[in-house]
Amino acid sequence: MKKRSFVSIILLLAVSGLIFSTFYSCKPANKNIGLQLYSIRDSITSDVPGAIAKVGKMGYTFVEPAGYGNGKFYDMEPAAFKALCEANGLPVISSHTGQALPDSANWDKIMAWWDDCIAAHKAAGARFLVQPFMGGEAYRSLDTLKKYCDYFNLIGEKCNAAGIRFGYHNHDNEFSTQLEGQTVYDFMLANTDPSKVMFEMDLYWTVVGGANPVDYFNKYTGRFELWHIKDKAEVGASGMMDFEAIWAAAEQSGMKYGVVEVEEYNFDQFTSCQKSVEWLNAAKFVVMPE
């Protein structure tokens, strides 16, 4: 009788554990999604540790800073910034910074800047270094745009030597501007070396520029190693972005990491970032590389 009761208790505990495990396994797990720290620009510049701690509790799994300058990240030494982020479960995967196309007078100075920049990003643990702009002259002359492409190839070669991937992040002008019958973005894709330059496609700005991200994924397979997952405000809120169709082509795009950026807000900045990652974690069609 005692033996039978003991066995019954063991079985009951096993079944209870299975039910408990099954219940919690149904909760959406955090997906491998990063946050571009420009999304909390009003807070991070005044309290870096506090801002990073809040992001670490939201469900994001890495960060992409936009505060590099003078060898530091948000006025912190690269190793210290890396330690702060990683202590909050947020490794630095990619980063935004850059320099406009130099001329002969400041070429050596800008190349030295890039050498220091790359070393700092290496120390911070970054795997990707992304330039998110070009000067206005790039949108007025195909010859100047070609010089930018050559420049990016050179910086990409420097980054490769340090084990970092270099890339370019678009806005809408790259799609809405044509030079001599060629769309700026297409020209850049055709005139940059895929081994040296990848692209971080900003999904929202691509749509605003009148283009379809999926068309680019199909035409330039594998070139878009990073995505900026963006909407008019919080991700998924506007209804203007066909995220499901975009995700269906994720493998074709070559996407390795997806980064949320929130530039407009229906709430405070932290709440908007929180709602964005919650929406992505709950969306069944959103599948992120590990």
Dist CA 266 CA 236 (whole Å):
12
- Model confidence over 192-245: pLDDT tens digits? 999 999 999 999 999 999 999 999 999 999 999 999 999 999 999 999 999 999
User: pLDDT at position 146, please?
Assistant: 98
Distance CA 119, CA 114 (A): 8
Cα(110)–Cα(116) distance, rounded to whole angstroms? 10
32 class by beta-carbon count within 10 Å (0-12 exposed, 13-18 middle, 19+ buried)? middle
What does the pLDDT read at residue 290?
83
Residue among 144, 197, 142, 195 at smallest CA distance from 170:
197
Q: What does residue 160 show for φ and ψ, rounded to 5 degrees?
A: -55, -40
Residue pair 16/31 in contact by the 8 Å Cβ criterion:
no
**192 and 145 in contact (C-beta within 8 Å)?**
no
Quick check: 138 pLDDT over 50? yes
What values do phi and psi take at 161, rounded to 5?
Answer: -65, -25
Total-model pTM: 0.91
Query: What is the predicted pLDDT for the residue at 29?
Result: 74
Is the distance from CB of 126 to CB of 95 less than 8 angstroms?
yes
C-alpha span between 48 and 36 (Å, rounded): 14
| Strand ranges, E, within 74-152 | 94-96, 128-131
Structure confidence at residue 28 (pLDDT):
54
* CA 17 – CA 220 distance, rounded (Å): 49
Express each pLDDT in 245-263 by its tens digit.
999 999 999 999 999 999 9
